[in-house]
Amino acid sequence: MLIEISVLLGFGCLSGVTTVLFGFGGGFITVPVVYAFALARPEHALGAMHVAVATSTAVMVVNAGSATLAQLRAGRLRRDYLWPLIAFIGLGAVLGSFAATMADESLLRWLFVAYLALTIADSVLRKGFVSRRDDSLPRGLGGITTTAGGTGIGAVASFLGVGGSVLTVPLMRRKGLPMADATALANPLSLPVAVIGTAVYAFAATGTAPGTAHLGYIDLVAAGALLCGSLPTIAVTRRVVGRIPDRAHAIAYLALLVAALIAIIVR
């Protein structure tokens, strides 16, 4: 247990860094590591991925909320891109969370893998993500992107427990925003997914052994250890946002997606 807590603290620190720099909220870091630990416990053998996704959403509520406040104080949140997109993401999150509680365990895992792979391929192949023209002007979100796109983002993100930054960051890049602004927006846009997903998973049946420290599917011990690592890191990391070159920021974002993809496939 001591080794497990130490590892979770370390990954919590990493999730704090990725929350601020990439808007991940912790999902791509916490899902693989919690899945690995849950899989090793007999009581979780039939629901390890559900536990990982649920715990990820709970951690994301705190991480994304803390990072949102930091970005708001720094003046990096562009409110014209937040509303009403955030409302439709919340609507989609309701649909995706309920669907995830009824999904097959292996289906949930491989959809997570496919989701990562498609996002990486799209970001590499589509112009404008890795390299952005310095003189390009940001473009507004259209009606279809806001309504149908927002609902889709919320549904997919809550179904997989990943917050939505993997969809919102590429979307904002395609609209001409610099990485610092795109990743800053990812945190508040992840909040409805995290809050709704956590509420659904907290009241879902777990199938875990009696007496284990769980709230629904959420592993409270793992979530607490991850947050003990992430929150101090968020406070420190927020000071370097905006100092990273845009191209390097975009490449690092893709590198972390690749690392998360490899981790879940290998496990």
* Tens digits of residue pLDDT in 20-33: 887 776 666 787 78
d(CA 163, CA 41): 26
Give per-residue pLDDT as tens, 166-225.
Answer: 778 877 877 778 887 888 888 888 888 888 878 887 887 545 544 457 788 888 888 888
Provide the number of structural domains found in the chain.
1
Give per-residue pLDDT as tens, 104-117.
Answer: 767 767 777 887 78
Long-range contacts of 71-77, Cβ-Cβ distance < 8 Å, separation of 24 or more = 71/184, 71/187, 71/188, 71/238, 71/241, 74/184, 74/238, 74/241, 74/242, 76/180, 76/181, 76/184, 76/241, 76/242, 77/184, 77/185, 77/188
Write down the mean pLDDT value for the chain: 78
Where in the sequence is the domain holding 73, given as residue range(s)? 1-266
